[in-house]
Amino acid sequence: MSAFAARRARVCAQMVPGAVAILPTAPEAARNSDTDYPYRHDSYFYYLTGFTEPDSVLVLVAAQGDKAAQSILFCRQKNLEREIWDGFRHGPDGAMVTFGFDAAFPIEDLDGEMARLLANAPAVYYALGHSATLDMQMKTWLHNVRRGARTGITAPAVAHDLLVLLDEMRLFKDDGEQALMLRAATISAAAHTRAMRASRPGMFEYEIEAELLHEFRRNGAQFPAYTPIVAAGANACILHYNVNSAQSRDGDLILIDAGCELDSYASDITRTYPVNGRFSGPQRALYELVLAAQGAALAQARPGNVYTAMHDAALRVLAQGMLDTGLISRARYASAEDVIADRAHQQFYMHGTGHWLGLDVHDVGAYRDVTVEDRPSRPLQAGMVLTVEPGIYVRPAEGVPEQFWHIGIRIEDDVLITADGHSILSAAAPKTVADIEQTMRQA
Ligand code: GLY
Ligand code: MN
Ligand code: MN
């Protein structure tokens, strides 16, 4: 059984007996006139099917009595003319065999088949309130089922959010996913190394971005997992900067936040380095601070520790460093605890220290234990993958030492929680001051 079929079986096993789950893939999106954005399937749909064609819907029917669970695909029919223009289609018969479904139908049959599948089903599972299209379709299907009421047919009386169930499954990466995410992160690490080696003062940010994209693609990655950030100098203080159009100057730091998507799985790496290959004194001081904060967070990345322990550890180091470097005045705050209590650190560190990573760059999964009264932060467990990404961003302001103005630094790695600690999937990207300067000298 494929990993995809095994996941479908696990979903069915968690559903009410006889219930029906419906999961469409993502729609295509027009970019202009007759040109579409590059197509990307829905992550949940892919997780359960491995099927990447648009216009597809997965239907699962949970086992009931002596009736086995069923997984059914609706997809585009084969069409020679369309295949000449746009490429291969599996068609229902081909998809059924290749992807191991119990049945498959043309997508045009969806409305008719849904009336049949939903008849007498006790409950329905779908992404509640996520798609106006699906909500409308559900209304039509249920209406059609209810029309049979006088012959004794009943419509599902209960709706469950399918995504809650899938989010929890997706949070724990199996061996195949872990291997794929290591490959994705390794390609991205090579791209960061390539960008460091190619960088020279005076280069435009987009020229450096081109080095990243080149490395992603030549290694088979299909897309960047998100729009790459290549920020020279002061642009690094814009957290979601991504126009990547400015020219670097000698003495700038370059902050690159970029990761590829490989076979649907994201990587997400940030490195910050001097465009001329040598950190200045103030750059090095803040860089070492962020690196120490990341080290403190990583030391918490092991099973049993709660998710927020990583952020708390990074924040303590950063707040102390803000006092030690004079970014925050000792005349106003006596200790790191005071800085944090007053949220004074937010002037320079205003984001969280990470997020789940998987099929989506900001992956799904609960961060808190919602089964406990006050919803505490969740303990880490083996198989979770997350990012650890502290930073510091210094905008000019009164009282802030001028030597640090416009410095923006973030260091981000992709981390797999293992049985006895963690493994850094993105470890191949140079990170210490010595490694970065050495890497750039080799250029
Ligand atoms: N690249 C998005 C993030 O770091 O969360
Ligand atoms: Mn990132
Ligand atoms: Mn990230």
* 114, HSE (Cβ side, Cα atoms, 13 Å): 26
Q: What's the pLDDT tens digit per position in 52-68?
A: 999 999 999 999 999 99
Of 232, 229, 163, the residue nearest 200 (C-alpha): 232
Q: How far apart are CA 322 and CA 329, in angstroms?
A: 8
- Predicted confidence (pLDDT) at residue 5 exceeds the cutoff of 90: yes
Active-site residue, 240 included: yes
- Predicted confidence (pLDDT) at residue 148 exceeds the cutoff of 90: no
Q: What's the pLDDT tens digit per position in 6-43?
A: 999 999 999 999 999 999 999 999 999 999 999 999 99
Q: Which residues lie with the beta carbon below 6 Å from any ligand 1 atom?
A: 226, 257, 268, 355, 361, 389, 412
Q: How far apart are CA 329 and CA 170, in angstroms?
A: 44
**Phi and psi dihedrals of 292, rounded to 5?**
-65, -40
Catalytic one of 205, 211, 215, 257: 257
Q: Answer positive or negative: Cα dihedral of 176, 380, 297, 376.
A: positive
Average pLDDT score over residue span 95-118: 97
- According to DSSP, residue 228 is labeled P
Q: What's the pLDDT tens digit per position in 223-282?
A: 999 999 999 999 999 999 999 999 999 999 999 999 999 999 999 999 999 999 999 999
* Helical axes 162-171 vs 3-14, angle rounded to 10°: 130
Centre of ligand 2 from the C-alpha of residue 268, in Å: 5
Judge contact between 29 and 133, C-beta under 8 A.
Answer: no
Active-site residue, 351 included: yes
Q: What's the pLDDT tens digit per position in 190-228?
A: 999 999 999 999 999 999 999 999 999 999 999 999 999
Average pLDDT score over residue span 103-124: 97
Q: Which domains does the chain have, with CATH numbers?
A: 3-166 (3.40.350.10), 172-441 (3.90.230.10)
Overall residue count recorded for the chain in this entry: 443
Report the pLDDT value the prediction gives residue 65, as an integer from 0 to 100. Answer: 96
- Predicted confidence (pLDDT) at residue 1 exceeds the cutoff of 90: no
**Phi and psi dihedrals of 413, rounded to 5?**
-125, 160
- Predicted confidence (pLDDT) at residue 369 exceeds the cutoff of 90: yes
Mutate to test the pocket of ligand 1, among 192, 268, 356 (most ligand atoms within 8 A of CB): 268
Of 424, 4, 10, 430, the residue nearest 178 (C-alpha): 424
Judge contact between 61 and 18, C-beta under 8 A.
Answer: yes
SS3 134: helix
- Predicted confidence (pLDDT) at residue 345 exceeds the cutoff of 90: yes
Mutate to test the pocket of ligand 1, among 387, 393, 409, 413 (most ligand atoms within 8 A of CB): 387
